[in-house]
């Protein structure tokens, strides 16, 4: 174990101990309040460019397994916990979390008062931070952190999107009837979205985020899906343009970053939340039937409700904690998007039914 | 939808006396419900027979009935009060069962009373195992293989099909009564027979054994719009096979991946929807096969439960309060989360700490019962501990248990324990298994082996190994350097090691470690319990300690002080810790009242307690709540940051009193009666001098520091003697000793109970009447709040004795003398606050037995019986107010027009093979009160409420010792006149025959002794309706023990004293000739919320 420092851009810092991977790593520091699901969180491409702090203090309890990753690698810039578990226990585990983080060369730090850190981020807002195991000079760290790019205006999508188009295959051998062809624009897509859509009889073609409208139209999709992903939605203008091209022409369904970009495509604006929503306990009210679902969330930006033209856009989901927008649809076109994660992973399955809306839209469209 | 306006008056049922499996968690839930519904403007009618509860305080409901919790009495109350609705889901199984009965017999429909929370069909579906199983399978979930049986033949057939081992569960019981394991046919027949008998409907379930599987529980809330949230997940350390109430449990679940947890969550949601619990809290239990992850549903409770209380305290989410609001029509999004104030209740709490619950057992009180754990619950209390890690929480919890452990310590020397013993103690679940895990590891067992043998998940074992490894590191480091580094010291504290533990490892003292620790800056920090892992600002001051960098309590105290211009004066109340026999809800009642009373005077009240079942650990009772073990170290850590203006140690029972000395020495400002006075009352020699100097009498006595001394004293004062260790509560290890041999064996036992303290030996006053007196003194004046006459003889622990307030057979002249004595003693001891004195009256002479300058177990009962809030007045007096400022008069006892009879409830049915005879060591778990204008009526009510209703007719079995033979004639004559038939043993029978009383005599065996088998047969065949048996000396105690045990098992009321028999006769007289009346406390004491209606006669 080597000593490590987490230095925040406002000068506040915490000391802890790093696992075997050492060095320096910087990113936006955010906290996640999920009690379980660290494997999903680590591999969620939406965390690219971020250092994640887990508020639950005991992490690694059930190890890591072969089925629960949300992408093929760990995306976080750093991982901060109170205590890593030294002896995991779960019948599906194939290795320990510590082994996994070491394999993936992730700067992972334990022994930090994560509650104090979380409280600080809550009050001051998410901010840049730098983990170092070799430089403990506060002046030097202060200089280094100035050079870390801000999350606002940053295009992280290009770092995580697929290089090549591919068709998703579920590992379970269940035969997909492939009733619908979906073009998924990969801004950092989570595997569980692909699993669910495929289970719902979709043949999902995953496109790089910069795929052109022509390339997408080549497969003659029944619906366009815009995925979740990292960074500032305003920085990925090309995806906004792609969506615009399909508005009114094909059913469009967006999740998280995909929802934000859809908001921009519909003429709205996005803004950065103070410390974002990262957890699995957010109450969302479905304004269509007034039911409340507990949802999984992971976003630092948000569509500004006031910026939307209410003649075109209907608000359909609202966050009950802070009244921010959680879902919207177009009044004339088959366009639907959600800020939260109906695919969960990790988190409750309360909102999984929303995928059916997308299927419905495509069914309608095919008629 | 906002609240319902079609209902105005709601009947709330409590859960009655504290019994194993149903404790003060329902006082907590009921109190929350009362507050929350009155807040909404509903008129509340409350029924609970337990006077020790907070909820039965007249200010918590509009109409408070301390009446028996039976369908009949609740019906009387319904007829009188005409409520619009009944809320049965917050009073445990007792309330639920009564509501079911009232529904079945049409009372609810006839009186147009709606059922809130869950209706009949829902409860039936959840509680009836067959219905439940069908419902669960219908929605595609898995359950263990099982079959029902209603007789032994069916049971055998079912077990053959399922395969051994099997679990037998009886339907409609609480705390797993009447359940058990069967490994073969022979076992099965025994367990099945017991189960069929204890089930309300004679039904048992025989089930595939899933012993050793991982056990989980989810707490679920649902509103009428079908919004459902999970409040908390709980994982049991003890795998399947140990009742959840007896298991060490951890929140949140630790070893489930998100995928598995979400599957479980989906299942819980599907179940609550399928069963149809309309609104409120429920819990669902699951088991998971650790090898392949197969998940089966075990059971659900369609009501607030013990786990709900735990989940509330573990997360800060007030389940009962919200359940009450949901029941009257609110939806989750319409209720605000108290803690964050800005987010709604429709969210799922997330926590950033680890919570552990450890049950507290009381096997030492029942030496005949083994400390083996199974599906029937045996624990009497629990403690909860919060830490940032499992290791910290575990060690805090173990020291918070107050059973002499200072953490995961080395009470036994592992090297002296055999491999076989370790193996056995790990295999068979028992009360000290957690320590044997450590002993096994110390003996060099690998974590895998320990996990395999105990079937406890390796995750837990590995954490215990980490604690052990650190302990060894500390030891080695200390041996090498005669010191340990600051970083190691800090790590030890992060791992939850107490200062005492460290002192033992480093051959130092607790105070020295504390000093060094503070010098090096290794000090406890306090974190907030906020339901949201710090995501939102929290406004609720609910703290736990840990060793981190930021202290939120300090921040909050400073912030409030700045806002108010200065720090408000604050007083700290030390609570009672985990419930145990002799110390439970009564003391929590006092602590809560102290908090209310201090608030009234403008102080901030600071509560410290470690018992999750209590009302005192509800975050809105005090201004700041610290959920911490009640040890010197943990309390001092709080005192260091709070710097209270006063600390109250006399309300929490023996727990805080045991700390008083050390706190006093550390300069803590203890308010009320001084520590010196408390000591004086405990120190026999000094106390005797005091009593003599006041011209009062005491039974001859002495204190012995050695065996020889004890023998000499006993010979001087003459046998029988009452022997006991000093500084104990609940008469722990107290015994009536008849001869020297018994005395010697007592001394051996007592050595374990009070180390280094003398043994107290008193002359035992045969056949004296015992009185209990509760009083409040302000240093000058004394107010005698209650004089209670025991219905049992002196020598039976006051906590186990039925008693009457006011006394029913003592002359006013003697009462006046008793009051004078009390005032004298209070003055001499300079008592400020509460005082309890026990007196014995023999031949019109008053003897002082015991003085306790602290809150007594009877304080809440006296408050309910007299209408004077004892604890509240006492707390205010302790801050310097004078009794003269209250409108109190010392002749109020003579003016009381009613009788309030307290009766105790015993746990004997939970410990098979244990004799039901009472003695000087307290054995009861709870109490009830019967209140009426007539003594007979009050006594009869108390018996009904305690579950042993007196018979109106039938057969009485009388067998009394020789000394009582002449007196029993009087009782037999009355019973005869009341048309009871009488059966008696030889001696008694011949005497009764002489008096021309018709009596059937028990046969004799060929060798001329009473045929015990005939008696047992009669009891078993329900031929006996009342048993009067006064045991003599030691020999006869064991002789008749079997008879009493059998009577207890078959629910035959047992009377073991002549006074008790007299009272029973009066009760039966009443029942034969008059009708029961129900009357609320508000009517008895003409309180503000007085009701207009007159006493209403109801049928019995």
Of the candidates B256, B343, B552, which has its C-beta nearest A36's C-beta?
A: B256
Asked if residue B895 has pLDDT above 90, the reply is no
Higher pLDDT, B892 or B324: B324
Optimal mutation site among B533, B545, B551, interface A, most CBs of chain A within 10 A: B533
**Record: contact A294-B348, CB cut-off 8 A:** yes
Residues of B in contact with A58 (CB under 8 A): 254, 354, 389-390
Residues of B in contact with A87 (CB under 8 A): 447, 458-459, 462-463, 465
Q: Which run of H or E residues covers position B287?
A: strand B280-288
**Within-domain flag for A233:** yes
Asked if residue B882 has pLDDT above 90, the reply is yes
Q: B1034-1049 and B1012-1020 are packed helices; what angle lies between their axes, rounded to 10 degrees? A: 20
Q: Which of A145, A175, A200 is the last residue of a domain?
A: A145
Cis peptide before A97 (omega within 30 of 0): no
pLDDT digits (tens, 9 = 90+) for A290-302: 899 999 999 999 9
Residues of B in contact with A62 (CB under 8 A): 254-257
Q: Which run of H or E residues covers position B108?
A: helix B107-110
Q: Quick count: other Cβ atoms within 10 Å of Cβ A55?
A: 25
Of the candidates B344, B458, B535, which has its C-beta nearest A89's C-beta?
A: B458
pLDDT digits (tens, 9 = 90+) for B554-567: 999 999 999 989 88
Question: B466 — contact with chain A (CB < 8 Å)?
Answer: yes
Residues of A in contact with B253 (CB under 8 A): 35-36
Report the pLDDT value the prediction gives residue B401, as an integer from 0 to 100. Answer: 96
**Within-domain flag for A258:** yes
Task: Read off the tokens for A343.
Answer: 């695919």
Check which CATH number belongs to the domain holding A256 and give it.
3.40.50.880
Q: Does the active-site annotation cover A278?
A: no
Report how far apart the first and last C-alpha atoms of chain B are (Å, whole number).
42
Answer positive or negative: Cα dihedral of B974, B975, B981, B984. Answer: negative
Same domain, A342 and A236: yes
Report the pLDDT value the prediction gives residue B324, as an integer from 0 to 100. Answer: 95
Higher pLDDT, B753 or B840: B840
**Within-domain flag for A150:** no
In the stretch 678-737 of chain B, residues with CB closer than 8 A to chain A read none
Q: Does the active-site annotation cover A88?
A: no
Higher pLDDT, B531 or B912: B531
Same domain, A306 and A338: yes
**CA distance linking residue B207 with residue B575, whole number of Å:** 42
**CA distance linking residue B1054 with residue B1058, whole number of Å:** 12
The SS3 assignment for A159 reads helix
Residues of A in contact with B216 (CB under 8 A): none
Report the pLDDT value the prediction gives residue B752, as an integer from 0 to 100. Answer: 59
Report the pLDDT value the prediction gives residue B174, as an integer from 0 to 100. Answer: 59
Instruction: Select from B877, B898, B897 the least CA-distant residue to B775.
Output: B877
**Record: contact A283-B333, CB cut-off 8 A:** yes
Q: What is the CA radius of gyration of chain A?
A: 20
Strand segments, DSSP code E, in chain A are: 2-8, 13-18, 24-32, 50-54, 58-59, 78-80, 83-84, 108-110, 127-132, 166-167, 180-186, 202-208, 223-226, 252-255, 270-286, 291-303, 313-319, 325-330, 335-338
The SS3 assignment for B91 reads coil
Q: Which of A86, A118, A145 is the last residue of a domain?
A: A145
Q: Residue range B518-541: average pLDDT? A: 95
pLDDT band with cut points at 50, 70 and 90 for residue B1093: very low
**CA distance linking residue B629 with residue B401, whole number of Å:** 8
Question: A90 — contact with chain B (CB < 8 Å)?
Answer: yes
**Record: contact A61-B459, CB cut-off 8 A:** yes
Higher pLDDT, B408 or B1041: B408
Report the pLDDT value the prediction gives residue B1091, as an integer from 0 to 100. Answer: 37
Task: Read off the tokens for B429.
Answer: 């679940």
**Record: contact B390-A58, CB cut-off 8 A:** yes
pLDDT band with cut points at 50, 70 and 90 for residue B1098: very low
Residues 6+ apart with CB under 8 A from B619: B316, B318, B338, B339, B529, B540, B541, B542, B625
Same domain, A81 and A125: yes
**CA distance linking residue B100 with residue B123, whole number of Å:** 8
Residue B758, strand partner residues? none
Task: Read off the tokens for B553.
Answer: 């309590």
Report the pLDDT value the prediction gives residue B195, as an integer from 0 to 100. Answer: 87
The SS3 assignment for B521 reads coil
Asked if residue B175 has pLDDT above 80, the reply is no
Asked if residue B666 has pLDDT above 50, the reply is yes
Instruction: Select from B648, B22, B922, B908 the least CA-distant residue to B382.
Output: B22
Same domain, A180 and A201: yes
**CA distance linking residue B952 with residue B978, whole number of Å:** 9
**Record: contact A281-B350, CB cut-off 8 A:** yes
pLDDT band with cut points at 50, 70 and 90 for residue B918: low
Whole-model pTM? 0.93
Of the candidates B230, B347, B466, which has its C-beta nearest A283's C-beta?
A: B347
From B254's Cα to the closest Cα of chain A, the distance in A is: 6
pLDDT digits (tens, 9 = 90+) for B46-76: 999 999 999 999 999 999 999 999 999 999 9
Optimal mutation site among B253, B258, B335, B527, interface A, most CBs of chain A within 10 A: B258
In the stretch 235-264 of chain B, residues with CB closer than 8 A to chain A read 252-262
Higher pLDDT, B615 or A173: B615
Alpha helices by DSSP H, listed for B543-674, are 552-564, 585-600, 632-642, 654-665
Question: B812 φ, ψ to 5°?
Answer: -60, -35
Same domain, A171 and A140: no
Instruction: Select from B844, B794, B859, B903 the least CA-distant residue to B587.
Output: B859
**Record: contact A279-B535, CB cut-off 8 A:** yes
From B181's Cα to the closest Cα of chain A, the distance in A is: 27
Answer positive or negative: Cα dihedral of B783, B788, B793, B796. Answer: negative
Same domain, A99 and A176: no
Report the pLDDT value the prediction gives residue B910, as an integer from 0 to 100. Answer: 63
Residue A45, strand partner residues? none
Residue A108, strand partner residues? A79
**CA distance linking residue B820 with residue B826, whole number of Å:** 10
pLDDT band with cut points at 50, 70 and 90 for residue B1099: very low
Question: B537 — contact with chain A (CB < 8 Å)?
Answer: yes
pLDDT band with cut points at 50, 70 and 90 for residue B1090: very low
Q: Quick count: other Cβ atoms within 10 Å of Cβ B520?
A: 13
pLDDT band with cut points at 50, 70 and 90 for residue B731: low
From B609's Cα to the closest Cα of chain A, the distance in A is: 23
Answer positive or negative: Cα dihedral of A264, A266, A269, A270. Answer: negative
Q: Quick count: other Cβ atoms within 10 Å of Cβ B1094?
A: 9
Inter-chain contacts counted by CB atoms under 8 A, chains A and B? 169
Same domain, A13 and A67: yes
Residues of A in contact with B230 (CB under 8 A): 294
Q: Residue range B305-323: average pLDDT? A: 94
Mean pLDDT of chain B: 91
Residue B627, strand partner residues? B609
- What is the residue range of A98's domain? 2-145
b vs e for B71-105, b when ≥16 Cβ sit within 10 Å of the residue's Cβ?
Answer: bbbbbbbbebbebbbbbbbbbbbbbbbbbbbbbee
Q: Which run of H or E residues covers position B503?
A: helix B499-505
Distances (CA, A) of B71 to B77, B690, B840, B1100: 10, 52, 38, 12
Asked if residue B792 has pLDDT above 80, the reply is no
**Within-domain flag for A7:** yes
Asked if residue B1097 has pLDDT above 80, the reply is no
pLDDT digits (tens, 9 = 90+) for A140-149: 999 999 999 9
Asked if residue B728 has pLDDT above 70, the reply is no
Of the candidates A39, A292, A321, which has its C-beta nearest B332's C-beta?
A: A292
Q: Which of A145, A175, A194 is the last residue of a domain?
A: A145
Instruction: Select from A31, A37, A34 the least CA-distant residue to A52.
Output: A31
Asked if residue B237 has pLDDT above 60, the reply is yes
Answer positive or negative: Cα dihedral of B73, B75, B80, B85. Answer: positive
Instruction: Select from B16, B12, B86 the least CA-distant residue to B53.
Output: B16
Alpha-carbon dihedral angle through residues A121, A124, A130, A131, given to the nearest 10 degrees: -30
In the stretch 199-218 of chain A, residues with CB closer than 8 A to chain B read none
Residue of A nearest to B495 (CA): A83
Answer positive or negative: Cα dihedral of A321, A323, A328, A331. Answer: positive
Asked if residue B1096 has pLDDT above 60, the reply is no
Check which CATH number belongs to the domain holding A111 and give it.
3.50.30.20
pLDDT digits (tens, 9 = 90+) for B343-374: 899 999 999 999 999 999 988 777 667 889 98
pLDDT band with cut points at 50, 70 and 90 for residue B663: very high
Same domain, A218 and A356: yes
In the stretch 212-231 of chain B, residues with CB closer than 8 A to chain A read 225-227, 229-230
pLDDT digits (tens, 9 = 90+) for A310-366: 999 999 999 999 999 999 999 999 999 999 999 999 999 999 999 999 999 999 998
Alpha-carbon dihedral angle through residues A164, A166, A171, A173, given to the nearest 10 degrees: -160
**CA distance linking residue A86 with residue A63, whole number of Å:** 9
**Within-domain flag for A152:** no
**Record: contact B535-A31, CB cut-off 8 A:** yes
Same domain, A8 and A62: yes
Domain count across chain A: 2
Of the candidates A31, A89, A115, which has its C-beta nearest B459's C-beta?
A: A89
pLDDT digits (tens, 9 = 90+) for A225-282: 999 999 999 999 999 999 999 999 999 999 999 999 999 999 999 999 999 999 999 9
Same domain, A190 and A135: no
B883-892, B1008-1017, B1072-1081: the lowest-pLDDT one: B1008-1017
**CA distance linking residue A253 with residue A354, whole number of Å:** 10
A339-348, B502-511, B1050-1059: the lowest-pLDDT one: B1050-1059
Asked if residue B727 has pLDDT above 70, the reply is no
Same domain, A176 and A238: yes
Q: Of the listed A256, A278, A282, A326, which one is catalytic?
A: A256
The length of chain B is 1100
Residues of B in contact with A347 (CB under 8 A): 258, 262
**Within-domain flag for A290:** yes
**Within-domain flag for A196:** yes
Q: Does the active-site annotation cover A282?
A: no
Same domain, A168 and A249: yes
**Share above pLDDT 70 across residues of chain A, in percent, rounded to a whole number:** 98
Q: Residue range B529-556: average pLDDT? A: 95
Residues of A in contact with B536 (CB under 8 A): 122, 321
Task: Read off the tokens for B83.
Answer: 């409520």
In the stretch 151-170 of chain A, residues with CB closer than 8 A to chain B read none
Question: A279 — contact with chain B (CB < 8 Å)?
Answer: yes
Residue of A nearest to B347 (CA): A283
In the stretch 322-351 of chain A, residues with CB closer than 8 A to chain B read 344-349
Answer positive or negative: Cα dihedral of B173, B178, B182, B186. Answer: negative
Question: B1055 φ, ψ to 5°?
Answer: -115, 125
Of the candidates B261, B290, B351, which has its C-beta nearest A91's C-beta?
A: B290
pLDDT digits (tens, 9 = 90+) for A179-235: 999 999 999 999 999 999 999 999 999 999 999 999 999 999 999 999 999 999 999
CA atoms within 13 A on the CB side of B1004: 7
A257-261, B612-616, B1019-1023: the lowest-pLDDT one: B1019-1023
Question: A231 — contact with chain B (CB < 8 Å)?
Answer: no
Of the candidates B290, B293, B344, which has its C-beta nearest A283's C-beta?
A: B344
Question: A119 — contact with chain B (CB < 8 Å)?
Answer: yes
Of the candidates B343, B350, B389, which has its C-beta nearest A279's C-beta?
A: B350
**Within-domain flag for A151:** no
């Amino acid at each position: 174990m080597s000593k490590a420092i987490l230095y925040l851009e406002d000068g506040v810092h915490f000391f802890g101990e790093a696992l075997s991977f050492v060095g320096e790593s910087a990113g936006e520091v955010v906290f996640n309040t999920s009690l379980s699901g660290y494997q999903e969180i680590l591999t969620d491409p939406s965390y690219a460019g971020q250092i994640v702090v887990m508020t639950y203090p005991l992490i690694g309890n059930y190890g890591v397994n072969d089925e629960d990753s949300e992408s093929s690698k760990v995306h976080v810039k750093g991982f901060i916990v109170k205590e890593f578990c030294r002896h995991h226990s779960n019948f599906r585990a194939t290795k320990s979390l510590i082994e996994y983080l070491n394999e993936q060369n992730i700067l992972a730090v334990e022994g930090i008062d994560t509650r104090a850190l979380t409280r600080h981020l809550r009050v001051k807002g998410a901010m840049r931070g730098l983990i170092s195991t070799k430089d403990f000079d506060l002046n030097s760290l202060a200089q280094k952190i100035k050079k870390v790019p801000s999350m606002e205006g940053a295009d992280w999508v290009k770092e995580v999107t697929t290089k090549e188009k591919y068709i998703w295959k579920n590992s379970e051998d269940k035969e997909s009837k492939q009733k619908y062809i979906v073009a998924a624009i990969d801004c950092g897509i989570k595997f569980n979205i692909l699993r669910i859509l495929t289970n719902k009889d979709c043949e999902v073609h995953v496109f790089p985020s910069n795929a052109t409208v022509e390339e997408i139209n080549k497969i003659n999709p029944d619906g366009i899906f815009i995925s979740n992903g990292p960074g500032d939605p305003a920085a990925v203008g090309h995806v906004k343009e792609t969506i615009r091209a399909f508005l009114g022409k094909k059913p469009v369904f967006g999740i998280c970053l995909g929802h934000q970009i859809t908001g921009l495509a519909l003429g709205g604006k996005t803004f950065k939340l103070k410390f974002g929503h990262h957890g699995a306990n957010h109450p969302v009210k479905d304004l269509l039937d007034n039911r409340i679902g507990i949802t999984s969330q992971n976003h630092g930006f948000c569509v500004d409700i006031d910026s939307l033209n209410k003649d075109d856009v209907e608000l359909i989901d609202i966050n009950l904690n802070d009244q921010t927008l959680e879902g919207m649809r177009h009044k004339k076109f088959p366009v639907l998007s959600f800020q939260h994660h109906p695919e969960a992973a990790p988190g409750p399955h309360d909102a999984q039914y929303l995928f059916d809306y997308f299927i419905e839209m495509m069914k309608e469209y095919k008629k | 939808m906002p609240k319902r306006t079609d209902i105005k008056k709601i009947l709330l049922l409590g859960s009655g006396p504290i019994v194993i499996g149903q404790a003060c968690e329902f006082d907590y839930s009921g109190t929350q419900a009362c507050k929350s519904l009155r807040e909404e403007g509903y008129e509340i009618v409350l029924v609970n027979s337990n006077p020790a509860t907070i909820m039965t305080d007249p200010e918590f409901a509009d109409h408070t009935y301390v009446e028996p919790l039976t369908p009949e009495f609740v019906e009387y109350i319904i007829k009188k009060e005409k409520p619009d609705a009944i809320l049965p889901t917050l009073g445990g199984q007792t309330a639920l069962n009564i509501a079911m009965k009232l529904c079945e017999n049409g009372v609810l429909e006839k009186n147009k009373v709606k059922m809130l929370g869950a209706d009949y069909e829902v409860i039936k579906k959840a509680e009836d195992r067959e219905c439940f199983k069908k419902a669960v399978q219908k929605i595609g979930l898995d359950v263990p293989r099982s079959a029902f049986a209603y007789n032994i033949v069916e049971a055998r057939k079912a077990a053959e099909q399922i395969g051994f081992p099997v679990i037998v569960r009886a339907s409609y019981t609480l705390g797993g009564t009447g359940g058990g394991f069967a490994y073969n046919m022979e076992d099965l027949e025994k367990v099945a027979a017991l189960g069929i008998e204890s089930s309300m409907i004679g039904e048992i379930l025989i089930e595939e054994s899933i012993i050793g599987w991982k056990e989980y529980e989810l707490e679920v809330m649902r509103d009428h719009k079908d919004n459902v949230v999970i409040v908390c997940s709980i994982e049991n350390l003890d795998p399947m096979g140990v009742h959840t109430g007896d298991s060490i449990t951890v929140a949140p679940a630790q070893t489930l991946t998100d995928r598995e947890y979400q599957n479980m969550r989906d299942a819980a949601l599907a179940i609550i929807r399928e069963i149809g619990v309309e609104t409120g809290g429920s819990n669902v239990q699951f088991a998971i096969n650790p090898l392949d992850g197969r998940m089966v549903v075990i059971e659900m409770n369609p009501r607030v439960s013990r786990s709900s209380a735990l989940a509330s305290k573990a997360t800060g989410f007030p389940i009962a309060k919200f359940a009450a609001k949901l029941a009257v029509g609110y939806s989750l999004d319409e209720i605000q989360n108290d803690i964050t104030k800005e987010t709604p209740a429709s969210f799922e709490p997330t926590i950033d700490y680890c919570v552990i619950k450890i049950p507290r057992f009381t096997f030492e009180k029942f030496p005949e019962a083994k400390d083996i754990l199974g599906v029937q619950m045996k624990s009497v209390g629990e403690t909860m501990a919060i830490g940032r890690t499992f290791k910290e929480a575990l060690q805090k919890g173990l020291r918070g248990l107050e059973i002499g452990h200072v953490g995961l310590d080395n009470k036994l020397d592992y090297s002296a324990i055999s491999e076989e013993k370790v193996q056995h103690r790990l295999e068979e679940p028992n009360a000290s298994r957690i320590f044997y895990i450590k002993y096994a590891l110390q003996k060099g067992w690998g974590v895998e082996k320990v996990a395999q043998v105990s079937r406890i998940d390796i995750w837990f074992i590995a954490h215990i190994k980490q604690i052990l490894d650190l302990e060894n590191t500390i030891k080695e480091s200390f041996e090498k350097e005669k010191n340990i580094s600051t970083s190691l010291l800090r790590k030890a504290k992060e791992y939850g090691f107490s200062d005492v533990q460290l002192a033992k490892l480093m051959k130092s003292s607790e105070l020295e470690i504390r000093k060094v620790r503070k010098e090096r800056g290794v000090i406890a920090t306090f974190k907030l319990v906020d339901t949201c892992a710090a995501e939102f600002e929290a406004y609720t001051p609910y703290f736990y300690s840990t060793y981190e960098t930021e202290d939120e309590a300090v921040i909050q105290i400073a912030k409030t002080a700045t806002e108010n211009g200065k720090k408000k004066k604050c007083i700290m109340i030390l609570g009672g810790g985990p419930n145990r026999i002799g110390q439970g809800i009564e003391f929590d009642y006092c602590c809560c009242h102290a908090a209310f009373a201090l608030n009234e005077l403008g102080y901030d009240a600071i509560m410290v307690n470690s018992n999750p079942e209590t009302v005192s650990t509800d975050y809105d009772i005090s201004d700041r709540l610290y959920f911490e073990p009640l040890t010197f170290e943990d309390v001092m850590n709080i005192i260091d940051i709070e710097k209270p203006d006063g600390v109250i140690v006399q309300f929490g029972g023996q727990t805080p009193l045991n700390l008083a000395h050390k706190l006093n020495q550390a300069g803590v400002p203890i308010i009320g009666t001084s520590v010196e006075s408390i000591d004086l009352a405990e120190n026999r020699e000094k106390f005797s001098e005091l009593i003599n100097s006041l011209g009062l009498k005491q039974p001859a006595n002495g204190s012995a520091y050695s065996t020889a001394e004890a023998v000499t004293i006993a010979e001087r004062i003459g046998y029988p003697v009452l022997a006991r260790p000093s500084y104990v509560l609940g008469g722990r290890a107290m015994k009536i000793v008849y001869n020297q041999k018994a005395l010697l064996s007592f001394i051996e036992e007592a050595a374990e109970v009070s180390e280094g303290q003398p043994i107290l030996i008193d002359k035992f006053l045969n056949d004296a009447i015992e009185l209990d007196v509760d009083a409040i003194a302000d240093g000058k004046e004394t107010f005698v709040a209650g004089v209670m006459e025991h219905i049992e003889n002196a020598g039976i622990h006051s906590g186990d004795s039925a008693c009457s307030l006011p006394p029913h057979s003592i002359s006013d002249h003697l009462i006046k003398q008793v009051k004078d004595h009390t005032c004298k003693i209070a003055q001499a001891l300079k008592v400020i606050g509460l005082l309890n004195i026990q007196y014995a009256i023999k031949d019109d002479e008053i003897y002082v037995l015991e003085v306790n300058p602290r809150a007594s177990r009877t304080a809440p009962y006296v408050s309910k019986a007299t209408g004077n809030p004892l604890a509240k007045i006492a707390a205010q007096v302790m801050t310097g107010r004078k009794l003269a400022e209250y409108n109190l008069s010392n002749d109020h006892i003579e003016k009381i027009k009613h009788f309030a009879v307290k009766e105790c409830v015993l746990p004997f049915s939970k410990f098979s093979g244990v004799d039901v005879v009472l003695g000087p060591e307290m054995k009861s778990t709870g109490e009830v009160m019967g209140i009426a204008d007539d003594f007979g009526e009050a006594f009869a009510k108390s018996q009904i409420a305690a579950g042993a209703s007196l018979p109106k007719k039938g057969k009485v079995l009388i067998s009394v010792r020789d000394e009582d033979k002449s007196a029993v004639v009087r009782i037999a004559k009355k019973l005869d006149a009341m048309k009871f038939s009488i059966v008696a043993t030889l001696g008694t029978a011949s005497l009764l025959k002489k008096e021309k009383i018709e009596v059937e005599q028990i046969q004799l065996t060929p060798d001329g002794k009473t045929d015990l088998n005939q008696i047992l047969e009669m009891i078993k065949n329900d031929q006996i309706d009342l048993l009067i048996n006064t045991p003599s000396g030691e020999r006869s105690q064991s002789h008749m023990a079997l008879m009493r045990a059998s009577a207890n098992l078959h629910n035959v009321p047992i009377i073991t004293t002549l006074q008790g028999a007299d009272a029973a006769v009066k009760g039966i007289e009443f029942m034969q000739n008059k009708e029961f009346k129900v009357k609320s406390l508000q009517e008895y004491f003409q309180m503000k919320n007085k009701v207009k209606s007159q006493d209403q006669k109801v049928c019995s």
